Structure 1
Amino acid sequence: MLGPMSTLDNFVAGLSFPLDGFQREACEVLESGRGVLVCAPTGAGKTIVGEFAVYLALAQGTKCFYTTPIKALSNQKYHDLVDVHGAEAVGLLTGDNAINSSAPIVVMTTEVLRNMIYANSPALQGLSHVVMDEVHFLADRFRGAVWEEVILGLDPSVRVVSLSATVSNAEEFGDWIATVRGDTEVIVSEHRPVPLHQYMLVGGRLFELFDRKSPPHGRRQVNPELTRYIKQRALLDHDDRDSGRGHRGRGDRRHRRSTTMPRPRLIQLLEEDALLPAIFFIFSRKGCEDAFVQCVRSDLNLLEPEQVSQVDEVVERHLTDLSPGDAEVLGVEQWWAGLRRGFAAHHAGMLPMFRQAVEELFVRGLTKVVFATETLALGINMPARSVVLERLIKYNGEAHVDLTPGEYTQLTGRAGRRGIDVEGNAVVLWTPEVLPDRVAGLAGARTFPLRSSFRPEYNMVLNLIHRLGVEGSRHLLRRSFAQFQTDRTLVGQARQLDHARRRLRKTDAELIAAADKAGLDPGIGLDDAGDERPGTDPYAGFLGYLTLREDIRRAEREERFTRRIENENAVAEDLAALKRGHVIAVSSRRHRGLAVVLLPAEQHLDPRPLVLLEDGYTTRVGADDFLNPPQVLGNLRIPRDADTKSGRGRRRVAELLASSGITRPVGRQSKRRRQTGGDSEVARLRNRLRSHPIHKQPGLDKLFRLGEQRNRLVRDVASLERSIDERKSRLEEDFDIVVAVLRELGYLESDGRGGLQVTPTGDVLRRIYAETDLLVAECIRAGIWHRLSPVELAAVVSSMVYQSRRDTYGGGIDSMPGSKTVREALAETLAVWQATNEVQARHSGGSESLVTAEPDTGFCAPISAWAAGRSLDEALTAASAGGNLLSPGDFVRWNRQVIDLLEQIRNSVGADDPLAGTARRAVKSLRRGVVAAELE
């Protein structure tokens, strides 16, 4: 007779597929009452473990919170769980939405849970499980600290289910979670249920990236056929250029190949190879839109007639709340036309309703190609058969940087639909800058370490001190993953330091004994503790002699470096001074012989004049083509009608150069050495070396070996000591700086018992979670926003959250459109910002890590228009009038953030404060039209 089924058995019975080994193991850990960290590739199905945590909490009559890093993923997960458990059992909290928040299962962004912990929310009662999806986000330098705050702040009885992409230090991360939360199992799976195949597309040909003969494990070799084909293309292009230059009109255009291909043609190639549906990752919104428009203007059509009506049904449902006027402004007609042909764009600049329509169509197989930014890779359920990467460089908000192996893995992880595709496909488009070896390095890398980004900030410190006191806060900092990683590094470094010191003491003893045997002063004195007593003369004794030799080598290196820099500067100066017709001698690996200058250098930083060599070849020469500064050997008069761009013209000038009678210097050229004066440091040190009593003494080989070994150990000890001193107290130093700023500004005060307590003003700051939290609190305290109307408050508060993608108002606040009251409030806000930053800079020693960003007025005009009841078209026009191009999606997104901060302000000042009423009315004025539709 069979026994009763376990909770896990019941859960599995409701699934349409069996669990993989790692999924079952993780679920068994949860059922046993322990926490779990699951690290698995994108698409491996680790979210099933989170869903079991939900099922387990419902079965036990407790609560489960399911957290995600982004609102779009929270919305998606909410709908997934509602489909399984019903709307009554599931709630949603994202800052924008609050649906059924008292439900036993609530999906939320991680920031919402962090705020609930700080507020000691009653909703935390009865909580048994928290799922932290995409927990590797704690490495994010802007928002990562939130994940650590939650893990550290949850009640010890709560079981944490951490779901992460594959990271190389999973055991280290798991050890930390187990240290701060108790019994936690680490389960790692590197198996992809759908294997990923790597390709490069060169021209119109698709090549496998890796050699099939390479072993499946270890370093895989690049496909030699791919390498050969790229080299052949390079040779063809080179011959093509030579043919076109030397024989005008005879260039073989059949060999001319562009490194880029029109996207419609590229998509057709993918379709022919059965590689659709595909996601094209393009790292800019404009690039996504340009690709979409390029396809719209082509005859590309990827859908069958019967599929078009299904597309129309989905689109009409998503656009129910959109007014006809807004639809025209948003370009719905063209967007819809692309969807009816099977392709779309997807990025943060689009309205969420548009993105959600694209996501649904893609999942249903009604969209075959999506041009997307990397935000699509953050857990949103849109797997494809193939992923296409057009570039391996992206803009990170500050600079264009190379993709990391982790980012490459995250993006290509979208390829391969479980239960549909036999394999996924990652396709990288070849350009001369994208080398196969580099792609292979990204695709084959397995080292993605998770690094903490945790650091104390104003709101965090106030909330910690309010809950835990100063010493409790310090204790929590010491328990952070950041400190855990530092301590682990310090433990290893301390072990190395101890070993180096022991070896140093042993070497000292051997050196002293050997020096005594040779009748020499070892040059080292040790006190009773075995530590070195430094002498007054650094060159005394045998060790002083060794130090003298090392100082000579150092000084010689510095002199050589100085001579090289001076020579390079002299070469650059003379190259920049060359004029048309000057004849010089070139003697390098690439070129040798006479050369005449055709075009002077265009710039002086790295001057490279265009010259013609004796054989009629033209090239630009730079500093690396000369051992010594170029000498003008003569001047050649170049006829004005000489066409040096043609082969005939170059041959004519070469003949003139050959018949000019100018000759190059005879003999092999060598670099001229500058004479070193007798009073140089090297000369002085050499004189001292020759007069040293040990200089000519023979038989000191053992002493030399021991002395050099000792010096290496001394350097190692000093380096380790510096590293340990720099690392061990960084978090607490930052904490002390933040506390000092908060005390000076009156947010913290003495509690009369030797500790600190949060002041009433500090209570306001505790409830402000924006990056500009301190500035917002200072403006509230100064009362400069209290006299504003709801529209004016929305405008001024927008400067606290908005970040321009480029300069907005060249003339500053005074030239900004809007009322005089708004401009005055912004000017006062700016004054508060400057005063606050002065306090921060004084305590932090000028460090920029605590400096608050300057208020940005770029959104004031459009949000003023919107809050005043103007149309979407008028609001977007107000943005462009200020030189600030704003997409509809960005407009809605910034409105959301302003609404969120206004709600924080309303909750922080108290219901009786007039500012709370103004903030409430400002929110109401913003929540309409497309903004209201996206908040429902």
Structure 2
Amino acid sequence: MSSPAERYAAAKKRAAEAKTELYGFRQQLSFELDDFQIQACTELEKGRGVLVAAPTGAGKTVVGEFAVYLALKRDGKCFYTTPIKALSNQKFQEFVEKYGADRVGLLTGDTSINSEADIVVMTTEVLRNMLYADSDTLRGLSFVVMDEVHYLADKFRGAVWEEVIIHLPQTVQVASLSATVSNAEEFGGWLDAVRGDTAIIVSEHRPIPLYQHVMVGGRIVDLFAEDVSFDEAGTEQRRESLTVNPELLRIARHDRATTLTRSGRGGSSRRDREEFRASRGGKAYDRSRNGGRGGGRGDDRGRPGNDRRYDKGERGNSWEATEESPRFNVSRPQMIRALDKAGLLPAIVFIFSRKGCDGAVSQCVRSGLKLTTDRESREIAAIVDDAAKDLNPSDLDVLGFWSWRDGLINGFAAHHAGMLPVFKEVVEKLFAEGYIRAVFATETLALGVNMPARSVVLEKLVKFNGEEHVQITPGEYTQLTGRAGRRGIDVEGHGVVLWQPGTDPAAVAGLASKRTYPLNSSFRPTYNMSLNLTAQFGRERGRGILESSFAQFQADRSVVGLARKVRSREESLAGYAESMQCHLGDFSEYAELRRQLSNAEKNASSSERRIRRGAAAASLEGVSRGDVLLAKGPRGVVRCVVIETSQSLRDPRPTVLTDDGKIKRLSPMDIDGPVVIHERLRMPKNFTGRSPRERRDLASSLRNLLQDKRPPKNFDRAFKFSGSEQYDAEIARLQRALRQHPCHGCSDREDHARWAERWWTLRKETDQIKAQIGGRTNTIAKTYDRVCAVLNHYGYLKLDHELDNEGYLGLNNPGGAAEESAATAEAALAADGAALISQAGQRLRRIYGERDMLTSLVLESGVLENLDPEELAAFITTLVFQAKREERLVDVKLPSPAIHDAWDITVREWSELTDLEEVHHLPQTAAPELGLVWPMFHWARGKDLRDALNGTDLAAGDFVRWAKQVIDSLDQLAKVPGLSPKFAKTCRKAVDLVRRGVVTHTGLGEVD
């Protein structure tokens, strides 16, 4: 029992707490706050900024909601920023329900509701644009919540977060909410340096324990030998003592042995077979552990209990296997049934493929799987039909509405970026209300949207990153599995990895226990950013602001570690130099001769290749439709007929039909020298190559022609040339010098040479590190100078000193002169001096996007003035759309001559811009894309969705997403200062043409 003094002190503390704003806020909540939430809210009330880093589902947003509460209590304003529109819509609805529609606004680029409200939810880009425009809406702003702030690592949009943090007035308190990152102290240190007093609150504790499993053939097996949660597995002490479940190791050995048997490279041993039999009675996950059938069907749907018990020795009924043919894999319907049986529904199954997600739903529908009652099915149907009531009936089929509806009625759905936004929102609503028990999703669901589940399944641990298939990182694993465990409903969550052939349990355990996922800046100055900085702050202050970025902060800190590496390598270099000493002479001199000889031989070879490819490219530029071509390729003679020439200014690849009936683009890389025009072949009228019969008939004609005529006499001679003659004399000289060197006769010559090679390799690495150290000083500001030099070249940014004869610095000389001029321009721009922004520069300040400079150059050319609204809507897609690598169109017939003219100018401007960027060592602007031109042209002309997407692989949801970005871009152009009223009117008309039907459809409270 406490003493009177202790009771008095406690009472005094309670009385003091009751006077705080946090006390009033807590009275509104239906749950108790965790320690990290109390700490963060207390720091906010003290007037400090906060960085809160905690696992997904831990309740970080409570801190953001307290910032909103504080702003209202203090008669201030709060901006709540999010990275995606779906999350903005979600938070908007939550705040409207809590504070009323009159006090809450929403700004998402193409949506503006009550923008002067006390609470405004917005995407981060909107706030960035406000700061650059010095918007009146910023007046009275006291708090900014940056939800999902770890998104600043995103290479495409992450820089916006840093821009906002740097430019916000110092009077604004910032609450930054981040997923767990391993360098939170570093990021918090930067926030403290840039924003002032910032508290760093890190919690790795999950309020709902997460347990890790592997599903093998429908049976759920614990990942670790011990009964350990995600929190415990990540601690340093437990991580060292953790062991993988021996049963999984036995299964892995048997899996490998079975694979070898089937490939004819061996068989499973007796021991393997015995261990496999024993594993069937091993440690498995029992459905009684989570309460049996029922799978989390909500409060009135028989939610299962959460007692944790193991069944030692019972084999899961769905795992059917024999020693000869073990069934480690399960179908998706079998997987869902196994989860349901174990009481682990609702579940999110992450499949890193849109088609995979849709295919999973189709498989479940075809299998007859049903996870809902008849009453639930009727309720779902009513909700779905109400959401779709305003959709054009003719669009429903192309939207995949009926198959989507069938899945929902039975309790499962897909969720990915290719879906119509309202479809995704229906899925989110039904899942949150307990109607849907299984969602097959891509990783985009892991970001922001509130859809917790009892369990999360990872179908694979490999994903395609746009270029190659890579293993998911520990950070991604944590983010994905973090969805498991519903606060206030479940007492535990479950992460399940689906067994795939070749699964390594140790690797899975490593992902589940590793806690190193750093937050790295993706920040770099863009053309738009650089102009806005210069306009607002001048060049010198602008450079200083950029030097305060998190990217520079990280670069400066890394220099210490790099210097340590240099010292270590210098010691090793001294040892290598001693080991290569030769008693006959200077071996370093001899080694240098060997290296020069090797380089000369390589240069001779590469020179010949370049000459051959140059000759090949030149010959391809001169071909015409119907030309029969002969060329030598890596696999023999290429024989083909040209069916279409390239219209591209930079890509001479013609489309050809080979003598075996295949259509391909013939590239200089496909042939070893120039093509020879052998003959002319009369092409069938209206030949398209789309039908197999057309291709067969033309290929037959080609073969008949080639059979009758021999190759021309000059065919072989065309390939008998060499580009290495200029190197022959140098090679001969070096060979003589090498033989005459004293060290050439050393009996230990090759041993010395190995040490010399090691010395040279380490010397290059050391010099590179030294260059990194030099280069990381003021790296961001140096990039800013290079960007400004490009702006200067185009006349967007002018200086009042060191000007050339035309009034501003420019790059007018080719080759080395361009390099020298670039360096001069950058040096001048780094110097003191008043920077002047031209009218074109002022217009570029209002153009935001990945291709901001290219868009501005095309705009300044005047070619857009010649487009009508339909053509403008279609053409703008070339500056907005980003196709996947496999979907890119190099050449396509365009809808109108006016669009064709605009495209030609765009390609020319892009070519010149990227050449200039290469000179200035800047990342190259993404190429314009043709893939959305026709669909948008059809849509702007009033065609329905089916006709607009006909002949493309574009998903309806993707089309809607890109259409909204086209609207945003057109809206920007309509507001660019200094353009003709006619063009602004055309932009607005184009917006009206695009903004119709499914593009503007809203449902279930979504605001668009």
Alignment of 1:34-433 (within 5 A): 34-212=48-226, 216=233, 217-219=238-240, 220-235=242-257, 255-433=324-502
Match of 2:940 in 1: 867
Residue 797 in structure 1 maps to residue 876 in structure 2: yes
Check conservation: 1:343, 1:368, Cα contact below 8 A: yes
SS in 1 for 2:453: coil
Q: 1:755 corresponds to which residue?
A: 834
Contact 2:166 2:545 in 1 (8 A): yes
What whole-Å deviation, never above 9, does each CA across 1:509-551 have from its counterpart, x for those lacking one? xx9xxxxxxxxxxxxxxxxxxxxxxxxxx99x99977997985
> Is the 8 Å Cα contact of residues 839 and 978 (structure 2) preserved in structure 1?
no
| Equivalent in the alignment of 2:865 | 786
The letter of the residue matching 2:76 is T
Write out per-residue CA displacement over residues 595-649 of structure 1, whole angstroms, 9 at most, x where no aligned residue.
xxxxxxxx99xxxxxxxxxxxxxxxxxxxxxxxxxxxxxxxxxxxxxxxxxxxxx
The 3-state SS of whatever aligns with 1:437 is helix
Residues 213 and 497 in structure 2, CA contact (< 8 A), matched pair in contact too: yes
Match of 2:743 among 685, 698, 712: 685
- Alpha-carbon distance in 1 for matches of 2:56, 2:448: 8
**Structure 1 unmatched ranges of 5 or more:** 247-251, 512-537, 563-602, 605-676, 696-709
Matched, 1:765 2:844: yes
Structure of higher CA gyration radius: 1
Shift of 1:909: 3.6
Aligned partner of 2:900 in structure 1 is 823
C-alpha offsets along residues 130-156 of structure 1, whole Å, 9 cap, x if unaligned?
100111111111111111000000001
Cα contact 1:802–1:859 (8 A) shared by 2: yes
Q: 2:32 aligned to 11, 14, 18, which one?
A: 18
Structure 2 contact 581–587 (Cα < 8 Å) conserved: no
Q: Percent identity?
A: 48
1:420 partner SS:
coil
Shift of 1:326: 1.9
Contact (CA 8 Å) 1:556, 1:682: kept in 2 or not? no
CA distance in 2, matches of 1:200, 1:550: 58
Change (3 A) 1:680 1:740: closer
Residues 657-672 of structure 1 correspond to what in structure 2 (within 5 A)? none
Question: Alpha-carbon deviation of 1:870?
Answer: 1.3
Q: State the Cα distance separating 1:725 from its structure 2 match.
A: 1.8
Cα distance in 2 for partners of 1:309, 1:810 equals: 45
Q: Which residue, out of 900, 914, 926, partners 2:968?
A: 900
Question: Given that residues 202 and 230 in structure 1 are in contact (C-alpha distance below 8 angstroms), is that contact kept between their aligned partners in structure 2?
Answer: no
The CA deviation string for residues 53-88 of structure 1, in whole angstroms up to 9 with x for no partner, is: 000001001011001111111111111111211111
Structure 2 residue 984 is matched with structure 1 residue 916: yes
C-alpha contact (below 8 Å) 2:547/2:778 kept by paired residues:
no
Specify whether residues 327 and 547 from structure 1 end up closer, same or farther in structure 2 by C-alpha distance, changes over 3 A only: farther
**CA displacement, residues 720-755 of structure 1 (integer Å, 9 cap, x when unaligned):** 634312322432221121111100101101256822
Counterpart in the other structure of 1:525: none
- Over 3 Å counting, the alpha-carbon distance change for 1:262 and 1:916 in structure 2 is same
Decide whether aligned partners of structure 1 residues 556 and 57 sit closer, same or farther in structure 2, where only a CA change above 3 A counts.
same
**Residue type at the aligned position of 1:738:** V
CA–CA distance in 2 between the matches of 1:21 and 1:245?
56
Q: Which residue of 2 aligns with 1:590?
A: none
Q: Please tell me whether residue 777 in structure 1 is matched to residue 856 in structure 2.
A: yes
Q: Is the 8 A contact 2:466 2:885 kept in 1?
A: no
2:742 corresponds to 1:728: no
- Structure 1 position 379, deviation (Å): 1.4
TM-score in terms of structure 2 length: 0.70
* Higher mean C-alpha deviation, range 750-759 or range 421-430: 750-759
1:843 and 1:292, CA in 2 relative to 1: closer, same or farther beyond 3 A?
Answer: same
Residue 306 of structure 1 and its aligned partner are, at CA, apart by 1.9
- The change in CA–CA distance for 1:770 and 1:418 in structure 2 (over 3 A counts) is same
C-alpha change, 1:552 and 1:53, in structure 2 (3 Å) is same
CA distance in 1, matches of 2:990, 2:567: 63
Choose the corresponding residue for 1:930, options 976, 980, 998: 998
Amino acid in structure 2 at the alignment position of 1:74: S
| TM-score calculated relative to the size of structure 1 | 0.75
Equivalent residue number for residue 731 of structure 2: none
CA RMSD, Structure 1 to Structure 2 (Å): 3.7
Query: Which letter maps to 2:981?
Result: D
One-letter amino acid of the counterpart of residue 754, structure 1:
G
Measure, in 1, the Cα distance between the counterparts of 2:788 and 2:583: 50
Separation of aligned partners in 1, 2:255 and 2:917: 58
Decide whether aligned partners of structure 1 residues 291 and 717 sit closer, same or farther in structure 2, where only a CA change above 3 A counts: closer
Give 1:306-705 correspondences, 5 Å limit: 306-494=375-563, 684-685=742-743
Aligned residue number for residue 317 of structure 2: none
Task: State the distance in 2 between where 1:397 and 1:548 align.
Answer: 54
Q: Following TM superposition, by how much is the alpha carbon of 1:895 offset from its aligned partner in structure 2, in angstroms?
A: 0.5
Q: Residue 861 of structure 1 aligns to which amino acid in structure 2?
A: W
Output the amino acid matched with 1:789. Answer: D
Structure 1 residues 542 and 377, CA gap change in structure 2 (3 angstroms)? closer
Q: Quote how far apart the aligned CAs of 1:96 are.
A: 2.4
In 2, Cα distance between equivalents of 1:681 and 1:161:
71
Q: Quick one: distance in 2 between partners of 1:546 and 1:88?
A: 90
Q: Contact 1:552 / 1:686 at 8 angstroms: preserved in 2?
A: no
When structure 1 is superposed on structure 2, of 208-217 and 792-801 the one drifting more is 208-217
Once the 2 structures are TM-superposed, how far is the Cα of residue 327 of structure 1 from its aligned partner? 2.0
Query: 1:372 Cα deviation (Å)?
Result: 0.5
Shifted more, 406-415 versus 255-264: the winner is 255-264
Provide the rounded CA distance (Å) in 1 between the counterparts of 2:369 and 2:579.
82
> What is the rounded CA distance, in whole Å, between the counterparts of 1:206 and 1:22 in structure 2?
34
- Unaligned 5+ segments in structure 2 are 1-11, 269-320, 600-633, 636-734, 753-758, 802-831
Q: What's the offset of the Cα at 1:855?
A: 1.4
In 1, the alpha carbon distance for the partners of 2:871 and 2:108 equals: 26
Is the 2:252–2:505 Cα contact (8 Å) retained in structure 1?
no
- Equivalent position amino acid for 2:844 in 1: L
Whole-Å Cα distance in 2 between the matches of residues 734 and 227 of structure 1?
51
Q: Is the 8 A contact 2:870 2:941 kept in 1?
A: yes
Change in Cα spacing, 1:15 to 1:548, as seen in structure 2 (3 Å) is: farther
The answer to whether the 8 Å contact 2:255/2:501 transfers is: no
Tell me: CA distance 1:875–1:221, structure 2 relative to 1, closer, same or farther (3 Å). Answer: same
Mapped contact 1:789–1:918 kept (Cα < 8 A)? yes
- Structure 1, residues 668-708: CA drift from partner, whole Å, max 9, x if none? xxxxxxxxx999789943867999xxx9xxxxxxxxxxxxx
The SS at the match of 1:785 is: helix
User: Quick one: distance in 2 between partners of 1:688 and 1:341?
Assistant: 82
The whole-number CA distance in structure 1 between the counterparts of 2:765 and 2:907 is 49
Q: Taking structure 1 as reference, are residues 715 and 780 closer, same or farther at Cα in structure 2, changes over 3 Å only?
A: closer
CA shift, 1:834, in A, is 2.0
